[in-house]
Structure 1
Amino acid sequence: MKDLIKISFDGGQLTVSGRELHRALQVKTAYKDWFPRMREYGFVENTDFSSFLSESTGGRPSNDHKLSIAMAKELCMLQRSAIGRDFRQYFIKVEENWNSPEAIIARALSIANQRLEMMKSQNLSLERMVAVQNQQISEMQPKVSYYDLVLNCKDLVPISVIAKDYGWSAKRMNNYLCENNVQFKQGKIWLLYQKYAERGYTSTKTFNTLGNDGAYHNHVHTYWTQAGRLFIYDLLKADGIIPLIEQED
């Protein structure tokens, strides 16, 4: 079907420019006089037509109207001319094509695709917002340092607990402290050298246990205070060794 005039899709319906239809129908009366007279046939603004200012081509913008196809058909019939009848038949064909099952399905798919793209865009924006919020939460909640962990604990701990902070065994930690002249082994117990013994780094406890021989035996265990724990932390850190909690993921 040959296009006789530009058809626009506006606000959910097909429309045509009033001025363009006026020129196409070759109406002799000026548009500013013709259109008000046509309105007297009962056409309702914002139902059958809407007003707007057409783009300027050098002069002042002109008043124009977006006409529904139903109104355009009636205006063509009111002209009582051969060209008016041709345009009316053209608009009937336009409506038939517009309302065909194929066209309806195509419009529905187009709308569905538009909504899908909009949802994708909204989801992407939401994901970005959540990522930013997570980053802000991370920034407001700094990673707990080893010092924070130690200062929040007041208990005495065995060397095995401190060693575990570094992923070490108690044997490895004791050997490290021995190699750095912090402690020495006396029988089965580790004791601090004199320069460290009076700093409150350790506390020894004696336990009585019942032996297989039926007699009680004394066992001495060395425990580290939190001050001693921080001393070991500083000692290891000077060698570039940090606890697991402060290592990067």
Structure 2
Amino acid sequence: MKELIPTHRDNNGNILVSGRDLHKFLEVREKYTQWFERMSEYGFAENVDFTSLSEKSEKPFGGRPTVDHAMTIDMAKEISMLQRNEKGKQARKYFISIENKYKQSQLDTTNLSPELQMFNGLFKALAKNELATKQLDSKVDSISEIVAVSTKDWKNETNHLINKIARQQGNTGDAHRTIRTDIYADVDRRGGVSLNIRLTNLKRRMALEGASKTKLSKVNRVDVISQDKKLIEIYMAIVKEFAIKYGVWKDQY
């Protein structure tokens, strides 16, 4: 099998991938450090999913640039999928093939004794791998569903995702308000707008047109967003990113 992206093993046999090698293969135009920082916001934890490397760090990849990261193969697969392009799909399939080859190699070289201990260990390993695979598949399927959310019924779809995020944060009123506030702040920043000012202006126009106080009290920032196609796209992208970042699939297993 042709080596598309180098992989390495640590002392515990875990498969590691250099962040810079993956960044290069994916042909990301964004600077590596900025790209990795943004990718890390999707729920990845240092010393769990990746290890930061520097000139003073032990270098499992040999001589590397000053800043690099040793990622687990699971993290590398998820990041590849998040690119939403052909290079990302190619990288993810490649990592899956590497992982499958490694698992097969582990089974082929099992050499435990006595015989009962060997079979006991083998069954435990298979059970553990099966559980991990099912959990990862569930996570991948959930992320795919989030990414696939369309603009056809964007209000209900995004509201559904926000409710899932809130459940992960305790499902309280404060959780809902905090999440929506953070999302609207990101919309302001990315869209170069002020949703609060637009909301005030919208209510003023509606009042001049004779809207009732009850109707005015129900108008919110989502109504403002609905009047601008660009803001709808920005809002949907941000909600999807929050849903992935907060791991809305975690209550499924």
TM bracket (short chain): 0.3 to 0.5
Structure number with the higher strand fraction is 1
- TM-score by length of structure 1 reads 0.39
Structure number with the higher helix fraction is 2
- TM-score by length of structure 2 reads 0.39
Structure with the greater alpha carbon radius of gyration = 1
Considering Cα pairs closer than 8 Å and 6+ residues apart, tell me whether 1 or 2 has the greater RCO.
2
